Structure 1
Amino acid sequence: MYAIVDIETTGGRPSDDRITEIAIVLHDGSKVTGTYSTLVNPGRPIPYEITRLTGISDDMVREAPRFYEVARKIVELTDGKVFVAHNVRFDYSFLKSEFHSLGFNYQRKTLCTVRLSRKLIPGLPSYSLGKLCNSLQIPLNNRHRALGDAEATSKLFDKILRLDKPEEFTHLIDGEIRSQTLPPQISASQVMALPEEAGVYYFHDERGNVIYVGKSKNIRKRIMSHFAMDYKSRKSIEFKNSITDITYEVTGSELVALLLESDEIKRILPKYNSAQKRTGEFYGIYQQIDKNGYVNLYAQHIKHTNEEALVLLPSAMKAQNFLYRKVATFTLCLKMCNLHKIKGPCFDYQLKRCQGACIGKELPEIYNARVQEAIDSFSFQQENFVIIGKGRTQRENSVICVEKGVYKGFGYFDASGDGLSIEQVRKFVKPYAHNRDIQKIICGYLRKNQEDKLIRYATSTEVY
């Protein structure tokens, strides 16, 4: 038995928006056995653009039941049945969210007519409900109203049912129910073939374009968790439905995966990645020693100096706020951090938050020790080091290189190469760009107690 469901809503986000109409068409596998539909008062105004699309207005739902008043009926009608919908994760996620707000965990087996159509009726120009019905000469009345769309979906489901022999279709349905969390064009066998190793993975659209880049210690597990999520918006459902292929690159090292992901996002600028896309780095935090021997920190646009920045930040305001946080954390002086430009003691000295470096009361060596602690918390301290970690196989090591505080890149070399000099290991490093995200990744990684081997060196002739 199947419950074919369609809903209309106030918007595309199950976590924020509400249902305005629901229709359920019951199907026993050979014919329709009953229908149910009702408007639902969402308890909030319906946006104008939604009313234009669906025709459902605030006046129409004013006297309609609230969701909690129809929830029992929905539970009863769908109990013991497979929940069927066109783009099922959207309708199912909204119902789960509505039931969750009532303290009820709504769980049903689900089946998506988009996935079924793609599998059994390949080659169509579009699998949206309207265009699919047009291609298959299925009548679609009252488009974007719940009952009209649910009835059209039931006719589509009827047509799909008749494409295969009953026993073959039953086997197909069982497989599809188990695969419902997957994108329509991704098979379970494709996911199961993914490695359970650290690396970077790429989601591609039908044109082969990379639309998302991710990383994980376990590629298969991470991708399966991607697909198992209840999607929160139309955009997230659009993202999932756009995925037609998955590729990957095993890195062995978790840190290499983090670094490669960051670089690939900046290089490719995938449509559905939001973080780490910025490529311009504009302000740096620098240090200098004044005439009295105090280490001063200051923010400056990177174009105005040839000095190597301790850390890079994307704007003057972020750089200034960064310094304010370090002043508060390490009891630094506002004047010594170029944040208080007046004669005499800084404002914090009067509040007893500064120990008097601004007026020479605190000795330079004592103040500078705290400055160094602050620098240690966010920079590589202009160090030279390599990080030796896992490779892509047991016979291989990964190497990440930082010189004078600047990330140079990563590479791989034979794990049996004990006694190699840093210079020899360095030759295996493929160059990659240094930026604020990379510095943040490496600093964060070094603060943890990792298994990777950190080797600081003064000259490249040293042996690791």
Structure 2
Amino acid sequence: MVDQFISLVNPEREIQPFVVNLTGINSNMLRNAPKFYEIAKRVVEITEGSILVAHNAKFDYRILRTEFSRLGFEFERETLCTVQLSKDLIPDLPSYSLGKLVRSLGIPVTDRHRASGDALATVKLFKLLIDKDTNKNIIQNSIRKEPKLQLEPKLVDLIAKTPSITGVYYIHNAEGTILYIGKSKNIKKRINQHFTGTDTKSKKIQLQVADVTYEATGSELVALLKESEEIKRVKPKFNRSLRRSLFTSALHSFVDDKGYINLSIEKADGRRKAITTFSNRQSAKAFMFKVVEDFNLCQKLTGLYKTKSSCFNYDIKSCNGACIGEEDPELYNHRVNELIKKYSYNNQNMVIIDRGRDIDERSAILIENGIFQGLGFFNLNYQVNNLAILKTIITPMQNNKDSQHIIQSYLRRNKKLKIVNLDTPEENN
């Protein structure tokens, strides 16, 4: 049976500029495209009982498995990689990238870097390779399937008792000592990964684990905050890497000699108060490109375009000229301050409302004067709108650089969170 399925997929996030340049696909093209969960069933149906053939199959298979894993589904297929096959059957070529390989073999390709064009080119390449493999030995030996590990009964039982919920989990040894603390949107799935992992840490956990306990949170934000605080408090032996700071880059501001507020991404050192923080410099730069567009800022004054004259955006008429002193500093600084207000909760009094542990419950993260106070759960709206009652249901937690980073990063990623401003009765989404 021959079938075909072609679809764009909405990744539910902004497309990085280099991907747009490579593929020609931008966020506007994907706005009305189906999300992955909407096409997942079709992907399962069309690949059922088949071998997944791809150029660099390991990469494509990992992407598919990751997306299905987020849906709580175990996607397993046999795979065959045309990169490896090509190296075996057509050795000594200067390059085995798909574009250069098919050109060197005279295989026509259209819509390069689009799924349909690359897939069709891979089909033609695969047919050529099958013809070259006259004994079919290499094809047979090239099929890969991830082996299912035979788990010890103890590990199988521990996986069986953990639920597929969002929360924080604790891995204990026979003495009850906590070996590892983690968070997951699917605890059962994550525990399964620990117990089937082949890296050094996973193997040590598998040997020493005696029990797994967990705490439901409903909200991923609550889970992140609890995980961070618990790791700092307990210091489990297998959480060494997470004891360090969660972020490496920070957004700072300063006023230049012309009165314009400049923004800069710098290495986070904890000595200066940051507007917001980032896990790495790459995510910081991606954020800056987005806010320059969203708030109509100058590339030069945000450190994205090094120049002594006008920035690139001014040349294409999308910067108002702050870079060369054409725009009034007061007008420009107003937009910068709007950005700072949106992405920093300094001096703010607010409650972040997210999912709860049950369908009729919500979680509440309390910020007072820009300081994270703690979190709790509630069922009735008046519990949140009345500060005195709210404080009685809040469990106090440590305010530190990591908790600030977790909250700010989560707010950046989750645009539809409900935020109750305690200074005004208004609610923001």
Normalised to the residue count of structure 1, the TM-score between the two structures is 0.48
Q: Which residue of 2 aligns with 1:269?
A: 235
1:326 to 281, 288, 308: 288
Paired residue type of 2:211: D
Q: Distance in 1 between matches of 2:151 and 2:361?
A: 36
Shift of 1:323: 7.4
More moved, 376-385 vs 190-199: 376-385
Q: Distance in 2 between matches of 1:199 and 1:363?
A: 49
Paired residue type of 2:208: S
Shift of 1:202: 0.8
Q: Distance in 1 between matches of 2:190 and 2:275?
A: 34
Shift of 1:400: 0.6
Shift of 1:321: 10
Shift of 1:288: 4.9
Q: Which residue of 2 aligns with 1:278?
A: 244
Shift of 1:320: 12
1:181 to 126, 131, 151: 151
Q: Distance in 1 between matches of 2:392 and 2:402?
A: 24
1:206 to 160, 165, 174: 174
Q: Distance in 2 between matches of 1:281 and 1:358?
A: 30
Kindly name which structure, 1 or 2, has the bigger radius of gyration based on alpha carbons.
1
Q: Distance in 1 between matches of 2:414 and 2:299?
A: 33
Shift of 1:369: 4.9
Percent sequence identity over aligned pairs: 35
Q: Which residue of 2 aligns with 1:223?
A: 191
- 1:103 paired with 2:142, answer yes
Q: Which residue of 2 aligns with 1:408?
A: 373
How many pairs were matched up?
282
Q: Distance in 2 between matches of 1:255 and 1:321?
A: 19
**Any idea what SS the aligned residue of 2:243 has?**
coil
Q: Which runs of 5 or more structure 2 residues have no equivalent in the other structure?
A: 1-57, 59-137
**Any idea what SS the aligned residue of 1:259 has?**
helix
Q: Distance in 2 between matches of 1:400 and 1:328?
A: 27
1:242-290 deviation per Cα after TM superposition (whole angstroms, max 9, x unaligned): 2221111122323211221222233333333365421498985443556
Normalised to the residue count of structure 2, the TM-score between the two structures is 0.51
* Alignment of structure 1 residues 52-451 onto 2, 5 Å: 102-105=141-144, 180-181=150-151, 185-186=154-155, 188=157, 190-227=158-195, 229=196, 231-273=197-239, 276-279=242-245, 285-289=251-255, 293-297=259-263, 308-312=273-277, 322=284, 326=288, 330=292, 336=301, 347=307, 349=309, 352=312, 356-372=321-337, 375=340, 378-380=343-345, 382-393=347-358, 396-415=361-380, 417=382, 420-448=385-413
Shift of 1:181: 3.0
* Alignment of structure 1 residues 16-55 onto 2, 5 Å: none
Shift of 1:241: 1.9
Q: Distance in 2 between matches of 1:320 and 1:253?
A: 26
Cα distance change on mapping 1:105 and 1:280 into 2, 3 Å? closer
Q: Which runs of 5 or more structure 1 residues have no equivalent in the other structure?
A: 1-14, 16-98, 111-179, 341-345
Cα distance change on mapping 1:225 and 1:233 into 2, 3 Å? closer
Richer in strand (by share): 1
Cα distance change on mapping 1:101 and 1:448 into 2, 3 Å? farther
**RMSD of aligned C-alpha atoms?**
4.5
Q: Is the 8 A contact 2:248 2:281 kept in 1?
A: no
**Any idea what SS the aligned residue of 1:208 has?**
coil
